[in-house]
Every structure is written in structure tokens, then in C-alpha cells.
Amino acid sequence: MSDRMPYSSDVCDEQWALIEPVITAWKAGHPSASGHRGKYTMREIVNAVLYQNRSGCQWDLLPHDLPPAGAVKYYFYKWRDDGTDQTIHDLLRWQLREKKRRLADPSLIILDTQSVHASVGVPATTTGKDAAKKVPGRKRCLAVDVLGLVIDCVVLPACAHENAAGIALLDSVAGQCDTVTKALVGQGFKKKVADHGKNLGIDVEIVERNPADKGFIPQAKRWIVEQTNGILMFYRRLVRDYEHRPASSRSRVLWAMTSVMSRRLTGRTIASWRTA
């Protein structure tokens, strides 16, 4: 650990012990052509990614006592493109599920979408306008388990229909979790999603809202994905979509959940804006 003053988003020794084996293996598999081991420690690179995720700052506004933006970008994009961020995320999810006395992969998932505004610099070709929610930007589509842990995430233009989001999520989940047999979705998803799920061996149940209910009434199990969306909003980089590529937006979700799960596994907490 460096001798700088720590940020609340930093990984502690116990958290780093969960992440380090993956990073160390990656580093061993990507030696420098010159034999140079790098000026910055991998732990500080991870701390910089988590700091930006939590604070929402621009690349050039990373604190001077963290590695410079160029170095952090290099690893963030490398890990995004080769799936290292996914590997770290999935390993922590399996450990947390097993800690809760559940199988590593779920049989039941809950699907939902969230439309978020896009920043000015985001390419118009990857955004759209959600006609129902009047939100110009991107649509973040989550599949979570009953613990609220993200199984997969798909990022689409906000104009994409819920059916497109549901089909993309089901395809992605089926490709990595052959244990999923049931999915709960909201009324925005239609029969087309249910039919697609049937082809994948997943029973898709559309949870109907009681017409007599007034205001927000949590629906059993379905509310869990809303809770996850709320947790992600603590990570200010996710409040608005600043990423030029949807793949980067997806990676931000994985890093946010990596922070959440590593804290749950080690019993650590992080102050929120609600903390007095």
C-alpha cells in the first residue's frame, strides 16, 4: 500500500487479497517487451478506477497522488476488452453467493432496464431517446439474482424497446449461466421476450402490477433489481453515461459491483452522501 492518505473508495488489504490473484495472473501473462515492470502498482491502478467510479470525476481530474489518467485508462480499457473486469466480478459474485449458502450460479434472475441521460460528448450513434420516460441517452439493462448481485449487464441506446433489451440479456445470461431456468420481468417486457426465453429453456414470467395499487408498491422479488439500481446510483460515474463506448458503460457497472461485493465479503463499509 502507498504512503498517501487513503480515499474511502480504496480497497483495504482484505479486499485487495480477493482481487490480487486475478490481476497478478493477468500481469504475468502480459509482460512488457522491454522487461519493465511498470512504474505504478496494480493496487493503485485499481484504486484509481474505483475512485473515479465512486466520485464521477473526469479522467484529467484524478487526484495527483493516484496514477495519472493515461496509465489508468490503459489498464481500464485493457481489462474491459479482454474480460478481466468480468473475471474479477464473477469470482467475487460466486464467493458471495457461496457465503450466503447458495450455489455459485443462480436458477432465478430478475430483469429490468434503467434509462440514463448521456453526457454531451457521447456519440449520438450509440444513444437514443426513451419515448416512455422522455430520457435521451442510454438504456442500462440488468439481470440480477435474488441477492441483488448482477449476473449480466447490457447497454443499449435509450430508444431500444424493452423486448430488445430482454432478448439481449437472456442471450447473454444463457451464454454464461446454464443454471438459469426462470426470469421475472416487468410489464414493459412483452410476449416476444417470453417466447425467446422458452427457446433458451428459461421460463419468463411477466409480473403484473395490481391495478388497484396507488404509488410505489414493491413487488415480491421484482423489487430486488430496483434496489440494485439504487445501489449503483451511489457510484456517481453511473448517474449519467459519460462513456464513448457502451462496453465502457458496462465495465463501469462491473467495477461498481466489484466494490460492493468486496466490501460485503470483508465486512467493510463506505460512507454515502446520506451519512451525517
- Is 35's pLDDT higher than 80? no
219: pLDDT strictly greater than 80:
no
pLDDT in tens, 125-183: 999 999 888 999 999 999 999 999 999 999 999 999 999 999 999 999 999 889 999 99
The architecture that CATH gives domain 105-242 is: 2-Layer Sandwich (3.30)
Q: Give pLDDT, residue 76.
A: 98
- Residue 215 or residue 224, greater confidence: 224
pLDDT at residue 220 is higher than 80: no
Mean pLDDT of the 231-253 span: 97
Give CA–CA dist 225/39, Å, rounded.
40
CA distances (Å), 219 to each of 75, 77, 155, 206, in order?
40, 38, 25, 12
pLDDT for the residue 190: 86
Q: Is the pLDDT of residue 49 over 80?
A: yes
Predicted confidence at residue 31, as pLDDT, reads 82
Question: Does residue 225 or residue 218 have the better pLDDT?
Answer: 225
The pTM (predicted TM-score) of the whole model is: 0.93
Q: Are the C-beta atoms of residues 111 and 166 closer than 8 Å to each other?
A: yes
The set of cell numbers assigned to 240 is: 449519467
Percent of the chain with pLDDT over 70: 91
C-alpha cell at 153: 449487464
Q: Where in the chain are the domains?
A: 105-242
pLDDT at residue 69 is higher than 90 = yes
